[in-house]
A = this chain, B = another copy of it.
Amino acid sequence: MASKGIIALDAMGGDHAPASVINGANTAAERFPGLRWLLFGDEAKIAPLMKDAPLLAGKADIRHTPNRIADAERPSVALRTGRNSSMWQAIQAVRDGDAQAVVSGGNTGALMAISRHILRSPPGIFRPAIISFFPTARGETAMLDLGANIDCQTEHLVQFALMGALFARSVLGLPKPTVGLLNVGVEDVKGNDEIRAAAHRLREGGFPFVFHGFVEGTEVTAGAVDVVVSDGFSGNIALKMAEGTAVLYTHFLREAFRASWSAKIGYFFARRTLAQLRNRVDPRRYNGAVFAGLNGVVVKSHGSTDAFGFANAIGVAADMVEQGFMDEIRKECERLNWKTETAQQAPSV
């Protein structure tokens, strides 16, 4: 499919911005040659970088913004004072229809607060949730919510299941994904009331995915399902424990290969396959957390990533635009006859 659409970039968000953002966009432009770009930020800093980004030539417009939201800024302050920032204006471009997606490596809390304020949720979705994906034994698995919603009720979990499935369809390319609810056991009686009621609702069917039932952490990493649904508290903890364990094992392995001359010789012979393994689990490959459930595609990049990582976050946004994620959400909510709960539409900050 020919790529199309316009991506708004917060060119000032991230530790190595704007260079990592511009270079990342140039890398992404190779995979998505049909995309156009809106670059929000300090024109004096962005313009000189464009000569190193030949694939953006004729496809990118710089929109000067005087301010940048600091990484340590509180979301409530950013919401009050951030109007002239690169982040705000990039989100506003999605609201105004000038772009279909925004990607930022800036302050996560501010990005969520401003996105909720400007974009709101489509009818039938009560709250946005954070989705990301990571490697498992059978490929890649998406998980949500990763921290936007500390307390979740049954309806939220059911809505997360839909959003996660449509994400898996558009970004992981799975036509009918399997969805599991993260729990402390697989039996029906396990977990709290909310999660048991959510399982009951999901078992009734009628969704564009296959509901697998409850899954435990060991099944998640084994790749038992394509999408894992959780409240934002447990989901965030689960993801960070997995990340931490991956770092720990890499650390143990590095220590082991330094432990003796024999081990060093072994490393020499195995170095190519170990490099492939490192590449397979490279966090930059899985960069790009989606704030799903807003009127527009919002993707958060890790702030510390480089151009390669930023390009992957852009790739997630581009896939969602190309595959019509927003239309799918709206269509499914309408088909399921889900209604807006207006009281929860207002941002919580």
CB distance B251 to A249 under 8 Å?
no
Copies of this chain, count: 2
Instruction: List residues of chain B with CB within 8 A of the CB of A242.
Output: 217, 241-242, 244-245
Residue of chain B at shortest CB distance from A262: B269
In the bound complex, CA of A291 to CA of B259 (Å) = 38
Q: Is A348 an interface residue (CB 8 A)?
A: no
> Among B151, B183, B262, B273, which residue has its beta carbon within 8 angstroms of that of A260?
B273
Knowing A137-B248, A266-B267, A267-B270 are in contact, say whether A217-B233 is a contact too (CB < 8 A).
Answer: no
Instruction: List residues of chain B with CB within 8 A of the CB of A220.
Output: 241, 244
Q: Is A328 an interface residue (CB 8 A)?
A: no
How many of A's residues come within 8 Å of B, CB to CB?
59
Closest Cβ–Cβ distance, residue A177 to chain B (whole Å): 19
Q: Is A49 an interface residue (CB 8 A)?
A: no
Segment with Cβ contacts to B, from A35-43, A276-284, A317-325: A276-284
CB distance B241 to A238 under 8 Å?
yes
Residue of chain B at shortest CB distance from A281: B252
> Among B192, B233, B247, which residue has its beta carbon within 8 angstroms of that of A184?
B233
Q: Is A236 an interface residue (CB 8 A)?
A: yes
Instruction: List residues of chain B with CB within 8 A of the CB of A192.
Output: 150-151, 233
In the bound complex, CA of A136 to CA of B248 (Å) = 7
- Top 9 A-B pairs ranked by shortest CB distance? A266-B270, A217-B240, A221-B244, A266-B269, A217-B241, A245-B245, A263-B273, A218-B244, A184-B236
Q: Is A147 an interface residue (CB 8 A)?
A: yes
Closest Cβ–Cβ distance, residue A295 to chain B (whole Å): 26
Could you give, for residues 184-226 of chain A, a 1 whenever the CB lies within 8 Å of some chain B CB and a 0 otherwise? 1000000110000000000000000000000011111110000
Q: Is A274 an interface residue (CB 8 A)?
A: yes
CB distance B277 to A184 under 8 Å?
no
